[in-house]
A and B are shown apart, each in its own frame.
Chain A
Amino acid sequence: MIRALHRWPGLLALALVTLLAVSGAALSVFPAAERLAAPQADEDMSVADLATRIQSAYPGVEQIKRSPSGRITAYWFDGGAPGSAVIDPATGTGVASADPNPFERWLTNLHRSLFLDDSGRLLMAAGAVAMLVLAVSGFLLVARRVGGWRRWLAPLRGPLAARVHVELARGAVLGLLLSSATALWMTASTFGFLPDQGAPPELPSAVSGRAGALLASMPLLTATPVSALRELSFPYPEDATDVFTLKTDDGVGCIDQGTGATLGWSGLSGWERVSETVYMLHTGQGASLLGLLLGLTALAVPAMGATGLFIWLAGRARRPRIRGNAAPGRAETIILVGSEGGSSWGFAATLHAALTRAGQRVHAAPMSGFDPARFSGARRYLVLAATYGDGGAPASAKGFLDRLARLSAVPDAPLAVLGFGDRSFPAFCAYARSVAAAAESKGWRLLLPFETVDRQSPQEFARWGRALGEALGTALELDHQPVRPETSALTLVSRRDYGHDVQAPTAILRFALPRLSVWQRLTGQGFARFEAGDLLGIVPEGSPILRFYSLASGRRDGFVEIVVRRHVGGICSSALTTLEPGGTVAAFIRRNPGFHAARDRTPLILIGAGTGIGPLAGFIRANGSRRPIHLFFGMRHPDSDFLYREELQGWAAGGRLRHLSTAVSRGARPHYVQDALVADQLEVVRAIRKGARVMVCGGRQMAAGVAEAMTRMLEPLGLSPEVLKAEGRYVEDVY
C-alpha cells in the first residue's frame, strides 16, 4: 500500500517534481547572495536615522523598503522622474541598481507557475502534493526497511541504485517535507484560502493638517530599529492630509506629518505571522542559510528520481511477464505463486496462458499478496509453491500461512496445490505440503489432491495439467519450456586441486569477474552484486538441470570462487573439475540471503566439512572488521584435502579468524567436525550465550551430526538449534 503510494506519484510527477526541485535549488542561491551583497545597517540604527540620511541625499524620497536580507531600497521622485537605488545605510546614498534581477524573476515564475499564471500555479501545487506524498511514504518505507525510525541511520544493503536512493532520501526527506508543505501553504495563501490577509490600516481620523515635522522628532521612527523595518512610505508633498505609513515586523502604523505623533497602529494577526514564517522557510528570504540547505536537499530530487525509475524498471524486469493478466476482482481463476528464484513463475506463466486460451479470465499473483477480498470473482485457486531450505516459505510466499491462519472463513472456491522441489532433498516440497495441510485443516475444499513436480519436470507438470483439465471439464495441455536464466560466460583463472589421495577429488576454482553493463551495475543485477553464501548457478552442457554451488567469494573480492568435489558420474562436477584455466562455463548468480554473514559485529561460529568450507572461507576473507570468528572444519586428511590451508593461516595471523578447530576423519581414530565441536564445548556454549551466530555448511549427514551435538550441548541452557533457528541465529546451507 505504502509502496504504491510512493511509486505512482513518483512516476507520474517525476518531471514536474524534478523541475520544481531544480528550479528551487537554483533560486535558493539568491537570498544568500543578496545577504552577502547588501550593505547592512548598524545594530542600533533607528528608522528615523536611516530615513533622515536618505532624505538628505534624495529629497524627493517616497518609500523606503527593507528586504528580509537586510537590503534597503529607496524610491524617490526628482524633477518628475522616478528614481530608485539600493542604499548604503551608513551614508544614505545609493550603491546599486534596485531593478529586479531578470533571471531571478524568470526562475521564480518558472518555479511557481511554469509561466502559466493560475493554472500553472495549480499544476506546480500538484507537484508539491506529489512531493509531500513521496516524502511521507518514502519516510515510512525507509523506516520499515531499516527496522523502525529509531534505526534511521542504520547501514544499508542491496543494489547500488536502491542504496543511493535511500541514502539520499535519508538526508533530504526533512528538507523536502518542509519545502513541499510550505509551498502548499503559500499556494493556499495566494489563492486567498487562508485568513492571513492584513487588516486595512486604521484610517487616521484626525490629522493636524500641518506638515514639516522632522523625521528625527517622530517617536515611532526613533523607537523602531532598522532591523525591524519593512517599509516606510512618505506622504505626498502637496497633500497635508496624508500621513507617514510605517510597516514593521510587528504591524502597521501611521504618523502625522505635522506633529510627528503616532496616529494609529495595528499589529499582525497570528495567521499573518504564520504565513510570513512559512514564506521565510520556503524562500530562505530572511533565513538564507536554511534556504541554501533546502536548496541542497532539493538537488537530491533528480538523483532520487533517476534511481527510483531504475529500481522500478529493474523490479519489473525481474518478475516474469504474464501476458494479459486479468484484474484480480474479475478473474475466475487465481494462480498464487510461491517462488524463490523465479522458475515457479515460469510454470505459472505457462498455466496462465493455457487457461486463458481455454477461455478463462486468469489472474496470477505472488502468494504473499493473498487476500480473498480482492478476488471477489474467484471460482478456483491454484497454488504453485516452491520450498526454501528446510521447508521454509519461498520469497514470494512470505506471510501466506499467517494470512491463511487469520482468515475467519476460507473461500468457497476450491483449491489445488502444486509443489515444486527436488526429490534428493528430504524436505521435498515441504512448504507446499504445509500449505496444503493448513488449507485442509481450515476446511478449504480441494479441487485436486496435492501434487508435486520434481526438478522442474515438464512431464509431471503436464500430467497435473491434464488432471486439472478434467476437473474443469476442459482439455488442458501444459507445454512448459523452462526459461533459462540469463547467464554470463565465466573464464577460469586458476584451480587448486585437493583430495586426490583420499578418493575425494576436490578443486577450488577461481573465475574472473565477467564484464558488467552499466545497467547491471546500477541495478545490482547479475554479477554486479553477490557475496559469499550466495549461489552460483551453472548450466551444464547437455543437461537441462541446473546445478548450484555456494560462493566462496563476494563481489568486492573481484573474482568468483567455488569449491567443487567431483562425483562419480556427475556431469557438471566432472566438467568443472576438468576445466583448465582459460576455459569457460555458463553461469549466473542466485541470491541466497538466508545464508549471509550479516555485516555486524556478532561473533560467528562457522561449521563445515569438505567443500562446505567454501562460503565459510568467503565469510572469513570478508571479515575486514575483525569480528570474532571460530571455524570448525572437518576433512579427511590434512595432507590431502585441507582446503584453504594457506589462506586460513594468513587470515588467523591477520585477525580475520580468531580460532580454527579441525577434525580429521581418516586414521586410527576417526574424528568428525561435531567431535571437534564437543571438544570445544565450553567455548562454543559461552559464545552462543553471548549471542554468537552459528552457520553450518556441508553434507546432509554432517549437518545432522552437528545439530545432534548442538542439541546436547545447548540443552543445559534451555536452548536448542530449533530455538536459535527461529531467532535466525542458526542457519544451514546443506546439500
Chain B
Amino acid sequence: MMRAILAALALTTALTLPGIAMAQPVTLTTTLKNYGGNGAYLAIYVIDPKGAYAGSLWMAGTKSKYYEHLSDWYRATGGNTAEINGITGASVGAGRRLAITLDLADALFDAGYTLHVDAAAEDMRDSPNEVAVPLTAKGAGQPVQGRRYIANFSYGM
C-alpha cells in the first residue's frame, strides 16, 4: 500500500524555529515485516535535543483506545489526540508500506533532533522506540531497521 500524503501540517509550524521560515517536503517511508499479526499501529514523532517530546508527524491507527500500547508516545503526550489531529490514518498491515510526505523545517536537521517510531500490534509485543534515528542531512535516504515490526524506515528530502 502506497500512501503518499502531502500534509501542510499545523504540527510542522510548531516545529519551525522562530525567524527561520525555511521548510522542505520530506517523505517518510516505513516498510513492515511479515510479522504474522493484525495491522500495526505506528506513532511517528520527534524528540528534541534535550530528550523532550517536540511534536507528532503521523499516527497510523484510528482507535484511540489502543494508543496506550504506543507507550513512549502515549507517556509523552498523555494520550492527547489533539496532538495528532488531522495527521491520522489507517493502521498498516504486515508486509505493507506506509509513505507520508510533509513539510519539515530545515532547522530541525543537524540540530540534535531525533525521529522516533513506536509500534504495536494486537496480541503481540508493544514496541516503543521501534525506530530512533537522528535527523541529519546526511542520514536522509539511509534505511534503518526497526526492532520488531519495521523492516526498514527512511526519510528522504
Which A155-197 residues have C-beta < 8 A from chain B? Answer: 189-192, 196-197
CB distance from A122 to the nearest CB of B (A): 14
Contact partners of B64 in chain A: CB under 8 A: 192, 197
A200 touches B71 (CB 8 A): no
State whether the Cβ of B4 lies closer than 8 Å to any Cβ in chain A. Answer: no
A200 touches B36 (CB 8 A): no
CB distance from A172 to the nearest CB of B (A): 29
CB distance from B117 to the nearest CB of A (A): 15
Expressed in whole angstroms, the Cα–Cα distance for A190 and B65 within the complex equals 7
Given contacts A84-B125, A99-B36, A105-B38, contact A203 B75 (CB under 8 A): yes
Chain A residue at smallest Cβ distance from B79:
A200
Q: Contact partner of B63 among A77, A190, A233, CB < 8 A? A: A190
A189 touches B147 (CB 8 A): no
Which A418-442 residues have C-beta < 8 A from chain B? Answer: none
Given contacts A100-B37, A105-B37, A190-B65, contact A233 B71 (CB under 8 A): yes
State whether the Cβ of A611 lies closer than 8 Å to any Cβ in chain B. Answer: no
Contact partners of B148 in chain A: CB under 8 A: 82
Q: Contact partner of B75 among A102, A196, A197, A200, CB < 8 A? A: A200
Q: What total of A-B pairs shows CB separation below 8 Å? A: 46
Expressed in whole angstroms, the Cα–Cα distance for A109 and B148 within the complex equals 23
Expressed in whole angstroms, the Cα–Cα distance for A198 and B36 within the complex equals 28
Contact partners of B65 in chain A: CB under 8 A: 189-190, 192, 196-197
State whether the Cβ of B126 lies closer than 8 Å to any Cβ in chain A. Answer: yes
Contact partners of B37 in chain A: CB under 8 A: 100, 105
Chain B residue at smallest Cβ distance from A252:
B68
Contact partners of A189 in chain B: CB under 8 A: 65
Expressed in whole angstroms, the Cα–Cα distance for A245 and B69 within the complex equals 12
Contact partners of A102 in chain B: CB under 8 A: 36
Annotate B140-155 by CB proximity to A: 1 below 8 A, 0 otherwise: 0000000110000000
Contact partners of B36 in chain A: CB under 8 A: 99-100, 102
Annotate B87-100 by CB proximity to A: 1 below 8 A, 0 otherwise: 00010000000000
Contact partners of B129 in chain A: CB under 8 A: 236
A198 touches B68 (CB 8 A): yes
CB distance from B72 to the nearest CB of A (A): 9
CB distance from B126 to the nearest CB of A (A): 7
Which B120-145 residues have C-beta < 8 A from chain A? Answer: 123-126, 129
CB distance from B121 to the nearest CB of A (A): 9
State whether the Cβ of B78 lies closer than 8 Å to any Cβ in chain A. Answer: yes
Chain A residues touching B, range: 20 to 34
A200 touches B74 (CB 8 A): yes
A191 touches B63 (CB 8 A): yes
Which A245-291 residues have C-beta < 8 A from chain B? Answer: 245
CB distance from A206 to the nearest CB of B (A): 16
Chain B residue at smallest Cβ distance from A80:
B147
Q: Which of A100, A105, A245 has the most CB of B within 10 A?
A: A100
State whether the Cβ of A75 lies closer than 8 Å to any Cβ in chain B. Answer: yes
A109 touches B75 (CB 8 A): no
State whether the Cβ of A212 lies closer than 8 Å to any Cβ in chain B. Answer: no
B147 touches A63 (CB 8 A): no
B63 touches A63 (CB 8 A): no
State whether the Cβ of A594 lies closer than 8 Å to any Cβ in chain B. Answer: no
Chain A residue at smallest Cβ distance from B78:
A200
State whether the Cβ of A558 lies closer than 8 Å to any Cβ in chain B. Answer: no
A75 touches B125 (CB 8 A): yes
A109 touches B125 (CB 8 A): no
Annotate B45-66 by CB proximity to A: 1 below 8 A, 0 otherwise: 0000001000000000011110
A201 touches B75 (CB 8 A): yes
Chain A residue at smallest Cβ distance from B51:
A241
Contact partners of A196 in chain B: CB under 8 A: 65
A245 touches B125 (CB 8 A): no
Q: Could you tell me which A residues sit within 8 Å of B by CB distance? A: 62-63, 75, 77, 82, 84, 99-100, 102, 105, 109, 117-118, 189-192, 196-198, 200-201, 203, 233, 236, 241, 245
5 CB contacts below 8 A, A to B, read A63-B126, A105-B123, A192-B64, A197-B79, A203-B78
Further pairs besides A190-B65, A196-B65, A197-B65: 11, Cβ < 8 Å: A63-B126, A82-B147, A100-B123, A100-B124, A105-B37, A105-B123, A200-B78, A200-B79, A236-B129, A241-B51, A245-B71
Q: Could you tell me which B residues sit within 8 Å of A by CB distance? A: 36-38, 51, 62-65, 68, 71, 74-75, 78-79, 90, 123-126, 129, 147-148
By Cβ-Cβ distance, the 10 closest A-B pairs, closest first, are: A75-B125, A200-B78, A200-B79, A82-B148, A100-B123, A197-B65, A100-B37, A192-B64, A82-B147, A63-B125
